[in-house]
Chain A
Amino acid sequence: MLKKWSFLLLILTLGISACGKDAEHGEEEGHGDETHAPGVVELNQEQMKLMQIKVGQPEKRRLAGYLPAPARIEALPDQIADIGTLISGRVSRIFVTQGQRVKKGQPLLEIIGPDIGEIKGEYIRTRAALELARANYERQKKLLEENITSRRAFYEAQAAYEEAKAAFSAADQKLHSIGISDEEAEHLIDSITIESEKKSHPERKVLASLVITSPIDGMVGRFNVKLGQMVEPNTDVMEVVDIRQVWVVADIYEKDLSIVRLGQRVEVVTEAYPDEVFPGQLEYISPVVEEETRTVKVRSTVDNPDFKLKPEMFATMRIFSEAIQPSIVVPETAVENDGKNEFVFVLADDADDNDGATDGEAHYTFRQVLIKTGIRKDGLVEVLAGLKGDEKIVVDGAFFLKSELMKESIESEEH
């Protein structure tokens, strides 16, 4: 873009200097007639060089502007797990440390408590009772078919079996509710069997222990536990969190609401990594205004492969409002205003004819053209109306042309 301009400049400068010799002559003549049309400024090549006035062409392109909004990083709610227990006990072993990456199901810690033992024991006991009741029931059933036993005995066995089933189901539920899976439950029975036979694994003997595993893949975040600590169901033990993706929640002030739409492109920048930009899309705009802050929350999910964005981090969300059509874009230095209107200076066409003309008229005629501007970004301004795009305009030093135009108001000619 810059190159394009400088190339144009080069051409213009060459063209101008080709007839620059008679510049002073032209100036004198130009000065003589005071009847300039309104909004027209004439300059010669020397003047342009003196004040470094540069001419260039507007560009056509899509210009994006953005709204910066203060934002915070949050973890995705389904990618964050509070680790705790549903039963009280003492922490006997810790398998992970803070910041460690864990897989789903990976043991995190082990707790020991009488309640655990009781639940486990209850499970084993009811299970055994169930086995017994079922065996009895099936035997009575067979006997009944063969009319060996009384109907009453069969019903008794059936009732006992149902009872044992219910008791086991309750125990099973309890066991699961403290976080033990079916697999583990099976394992529990096995371990007991093995245990009773082989006494070489003393650690397995501890019925009262409970291993807590990670429910998700992620990273150990908050970590509030030490060995021997008593944990209760409401104790906050640790947190496993997955931040490969994070939420960026920004506050939008009421005044800016009109420019925010779902699906808009956003960029997240942080103080911590000023050079890095995390792209995303607006996926949520809160339906209510937060009373506390008088803001509306908007959200985007952002990929965070290197875990650079951390929950609770402050960030700035740039919400882009993109021009759909490519528009005419000029540098900010080209646009001047007089307090009411904005305008640029367009090189009049006949200046081209003057190039290389023999009469030595080396001055350039610039016309003041009112424009309407749109988005401004990075020193560029979108021109909504007033320019066609193929004009040559003053891109640098427009202020001097404006001054020249309004010179009468400051002039005190003392010839």
Chain B
Amino acid sequence: MIDRLIRFAVHQRMLVGLALVAIVAWGVDSYQRVPIDAFPDVTNNQVQILTKVPGLSPVEVEKLVTYPIEIEMSSLPGLVESRSISQFGLSAITLVFKDDMDVYFARQLVFERLAAVQEELPEGVVPEMGPVSTGLGEIYQYTIESDRHTPMELRTIQDWVIAPVLRTVPGVIEVNSLGGYVKQYQVLVNPNKLLAYNVTLAEVFEAVAENNTNAGGNYVVRNYEQYLVRGIGLIQSLEDIENIVVTSRNGTPVYIKDVAKVEFGPAVRFGSATKDGKGETVIGIVMMLKGGSGRDVVQRVKEKMEEIKQALPEGVRVVPYYDRIELVNAAISTVTGALLIGGILVIIVLAFFLGNARSAFIVALVLPLSALMSFIIMRYTGLSANLMSLGGLAIGIGMMVDGAIVVIENIIRHIQEHKAAGGRETIRVLVLRAAQEVGRPSAFAIFVVVVVFLPLMTLTGMEGKMFSPLALTISFALFSSLLLALTMAPMMATFLLGKKVSNKENRLVTMAKRGYRPILTWVVDHRGKALVIALVIILGGLGLFPFLGTEFVPELEEGAIALQAIRLPTISLQGSTEICSVIEREVLKTPEVTTVVSRTGRAEVATDPMQPYFSDIYVMMKPLSEWRKGYSKEDIVEEIRERLEKIPGVAFSFNQPIALRVEELISGVRSQIAVKLFGEDLDILKAKADEIAAVIRSVEGARDVQVEQVSGLGYLQIKIDRNRVARYGLNVADIRDIVEIAIGGKEATTILEGDRRFAALVRLDEPFRKDIEAIKNILVSTPDGQRIPLDQLADIYIEQGPAQVSREDSKRRITIQCNVSGRDIGGFVEEAQEKIAKQVKLPPGYFTTWGGQFENQKRANRRLAIILPITLVLIVVLLFTAFNSLKNALLILLNLPLTIVGGIIALWVGGLYLSVPASVGFIALMGTAVQNGIVMVSFINDMRRRGTPLREALIEGGLLRLRPILMTALTTLLGLLPLLMAKGIGSEVQRPLAAVVIGGLFTTILSTLLLLPALYGWFEEKPAETEL
């Protein structure tokens, strides 16, 4: 088949040429259509159910809203995990579905269940599903600023001018708002006047609610015409509300204005935004639809924003502070830069070794072409272009040229030999013969590498989402390069490689051979000693292994800092907001920082249910080139941290915007270990969690032990006394209404201003509800017309209560987080579990589970522990089919230990951790090692078959193979070098991988060139009849 393919390419070279042009065009087109984002999307497949429950406390929210919905959802097909947070006024449930489930189908299922559960929920409470977005969703964030507009006006502009238009941009699923004040028509009732006019709050509420309608009166006919009848009674201004009649006393109407102040006021808010220490601002957050192309959507948003700007009132500016394009471009340019430099290095190496610019050109052409072909495949498999998938291409550079090198080298050799022999064959015939000769082996070599990468695609979870695109693109690219090596290379050779091809031995190669020969001779003669030396190196390398730190996946650099500020739960939103300004001013003292924007509490659409004591603070920085000399991001973070630690009473945690978001979405657990304690009673949970935390702190290596903040929210409790209430003929419901309307304020109706909608709220005026004394004196009307102060009907007191209730799989849960340093996590967990079992007595029904980042790592390790043997077996199988000899196959496998040791040493030298990308590097390394082994062993086999004596075959074979092995190794190495050296955004993920491969290549070369020939004798098949 391969032969036929090559023949076709050589005979139909014009056709193949045209096909190539077509592929280029198709590839370029695909490149433009492939979704592009900075990072692969590692968010799990989830549906959020967000329910706003105005005014209710966490425990009520849990009982009345979260629980019924959770129960209803618990039996959904494909549901993997369900967890929830019940907070003041909000229930947020996250349902995680299997990754292969269509998110829209999942939402459909959820929607059906929501309809069923609706009637169990309190009146007026409507659950909504969160936007179809992911951790990468927040692609564009801006502030709205003005010198002459109030925060309320700016918020109105955001909500009613900017956001509705941006939502129409394709790929935008939601435009969230935070900060400023939402405008409301407020009827602020004076209870003294209620008393004076003898009207009740309920009557005022009713009056406002009832007097805001247009009536339709059908139509009347007059002669041949008809007129529609329309009664106009919609409230259009504050005066309209003021003039609503509440009731009449002795024929005198009592107007709203007689008993209340009517004005525009801010709606109760749960979040605020500040910027640069200059106080309140309004921000908009554009969220992208799941699976969208970050770069394109932002581009469209920006274009739309230009249009919107013309419609904005004078003086209003939209200032973006977070723009995903910058990150995408940085990440992509890191990879493309590596690709480009790698490509150039490879071409230089080729030109150097082949000593022929044309052949180097043909080989180099493989690079862009296979990249384009990969894009075509990516486009149709739905893979997005990002740091990881493009990283796959970058890693593959060196390997992609291998096939073409072999083919072209052989062609050149044939042409030279033919010239030397003075033959008269046409170039086509020569090319065809040469290409067919190496077609199968080179196909085989590439196939080995592809096969090695295949098991990586079975990685699951976060590591799977990160690295399977990488494995896929490498496979795509390698496969494309093979195809090109078999078709494009011979085809081009017929055009470009004429008879005047020279093949002078490169001086460097000559020198290398001169150095290589004596060593090889010694090794072949003293194979025992060689083996011992190899063993020593291997053992030495393995000895380093315990000293390697481990981590899951290195953090992706985003070029920005997202820090979380946490205060005491009792803090007011106002207090939090003010502290944010102080923080911002401190952060801005670092010269690299350009802008600091704080998001305190939760936004309009509470995709991230944060309490007012939480702030996400976005610190945007200048480009790397403008930083102070010698400052790294760590230095800057350290500097900011030091400065912030002076601020008393605030705890900080440093992160990055996307990572923060992703973590929040995936699990909400940041630490390596998370002990989840399940149980019923919140107080017991808290007490036991504290006990567990104390035990964990006593375990060696424990660090940052922290119990989830579930309590400590200040409550003003109005505990209704049923006896006392009954004495006055009142119901609990009456008091509830009072608490709801008088203190909390209740929307009576919605007022339309054009297509803008504003709520009309009835509430007591501020002085009459501002503190506990005022609330105690709120009067409640009894059926007999008496007015009784609330204090006389209920116990009113201040206490601290639950701040939020977290649940997982329909059970209440509290999390104890902890990191481990100085020892392995597995041992730590074992010891901690043992100690806890001994020292903490859990009541029946209470139990713990252990999870966290270490869970990911464990899962990844477990998976890798399966993948690696499978990979080995696959290699053996492949080798066996190739050589038809188990001995040869085993010999080549012996190439691996030394190779792997090289990788370990490289990690150690580079101070890098053993992580998932490093493991991927080891897998890639195995492919290369085997590839090299095959080249060496099959060549020696060939020589032996031709009857060359063993010693001569080993030495000559080694010397002859020196060039191709050095060449393929060097191309791989140099192709990866830019990734190793890169400092740009995203380089940290690829670095361990590159380091492992590069380090391993050195030892692979040694192993292949010295150890294999040395050991060959022991593994030779006596009747040398293998054929390759």
Contacts and interface: CB of A to CB of B under 8 A. Distances in A.
Interface stretch (B160-168, B353-361, B791-799, B991-999): B791-799
B582 interface: yes
A310 interface: no
A338 B800 contact: yes
A414 B704 contact: yes
A376 B645 CA distance: 35
B196 A314 contact: yes
Contacts, number: 102
A325 interface: no
Contacts of A314: 192, 195-196
B709 interface: yes
A406 interface: yes
B82 interface: no
B645 A31 contact: yes
A181 B582 CA distance: 85
B786 A294 contact: yes
A412 B651 contact: yes
A41 interface: yes
Nearest to A339: B800
Given A31-B645, A253-B789, A338-B800, A316 B192 contact: yes
Contacts of B788: 253, 294
B648 A47 contact: yes
Interface string A16-56: 00000000000100010000000001011011001101000
A337 B704 CA distance: 27
A412 B706 contact: yes
Nearest to B645: A31
The dominant DSSP class at the A interface is mixed
Nearest to B728: A294
B653 A410 contact: no
A293 B787 contact: yes
A272 to B, nearest CB: 12
Contact of A68 (B647, B728, B777, B799): B777
Contacts of A204: none
Interface string A373-415: 0000000000000000000000000011111101101111110
A27 B642 CA distance: 10
A399 B575 contact: yes
Interface string B707-719: 1010010100000
A254 interface: yes
A399 B195 contact: no
Contact of A339 (B193, B646, B709, B714): B714
Nearest to A253: B789
A314 B192 CA distance: 9
Contact of B568 (A68, A292, A403): A403
Nearest to A42: B648
B650 to A, nearest CB: 7
Contacts of A401: 648-649
B806 interface: no
Contacts of B706: 411-412
Interface in A272-288: none
B863 interface: no
B646 A50 contact: yes
The dominant DSSP class at the B interface is mixed
Given A70-B192, A70-B195, A339-B714, A400 B566 contact: no
Given A271-B192, A339-B800, A400 B649 contact: yes
Contact of A50 (B192, B582, B670, B709): B582
Contacts of A44: 646
A4 interface: no
A255 interface: yes
Contacts of A31: 645
B786 A410 contact: no
Interface in B890-934: none
Interface residues of B, number: 45
B576 to A, nearest CB: 11
Contacts of B648: 41, 43, 47, 51, 53, 400-401, 403-404
Contacts of B613: 410
A399 B571 contact: yes
Contacts of B645: 27, 31
A340 B653 CA distance: 29
B649 A402 contact: yes
B786 A293 contact: yes
B568 A402 contact: yes
B513 interface: no
A255 B789 contact: yes
A412 B704 contact: yes
Interface string A43-83: 11011001101000000000000001010000000000000
A411 B566 CA distance: 8
A130 to B, nearest CB: 54
Given A255-B792, A409-B712, A27 B646 contact: yes
A253 B243 CA distance: 33
A400 B193 CA distance: 40
Contacts of A404: 648-649
Contacts of A253: 788-789, 791-792
Interface in B850-884: none
Nearest to A413: B704
B654 interface: yes
Contacts of A316: 192
A400 B786 CA distance: 45
Contacts of B195: 70, 314
Interface in A286-324: 292-294, 314, 316
Contacts of A27: 645-646
Interface string B679-712: 0000000000000000000000000101101001
Which of B706, B798, B799: most chain A CB closer than 10 A? B706
A47 B648 CA distance: 7
Contacts of A51: 582, 647-649
Given A413-B651, A414-B653, A414-B654, 9 more contacts: A31-B645, A41-B648, A47-B646, A70-B195, A294-B728, A399-B568, A409-B712, A410-B568, A410-B651
6 smallest A-B Cβ distances: which pairs? A403-B649, A339-B800, A404-B648, A400-B649, A404-B649, A411-B651
Interface of A: 27, 31, 41, 43-44, 46-47, 50-51, 53, 68, 70, 253-255, 271, 292-294, 314, 316, 337-340, 399-404, 406-407, 409-414
30 contacts: A27-B646, A41-B648, A43-B648, A51-B649, A68-B777, A70-B195, A271-B193, A292-B784, A293-B787, A314-B196, A316-B192, A339-B714, A339-B798, A339-B799, A339-B800, A399-B568, A399-B571, A399-B649, A400-B648, A402-B568, A402-B649, A403-B568, A403-B649, A410-B566, A410-B651, A411-B651, A411-B706, A412-B653, A412-B670, A412-B706
Interface of B: 192-193, 195-196, 566-568, 570-571, 575, 582, 586, 613, 645-651, 653-654, 670-671, 704, 706-707, 709, 712, 714, 728, 777, 784-789, 791-792, 798-800, 817, 819
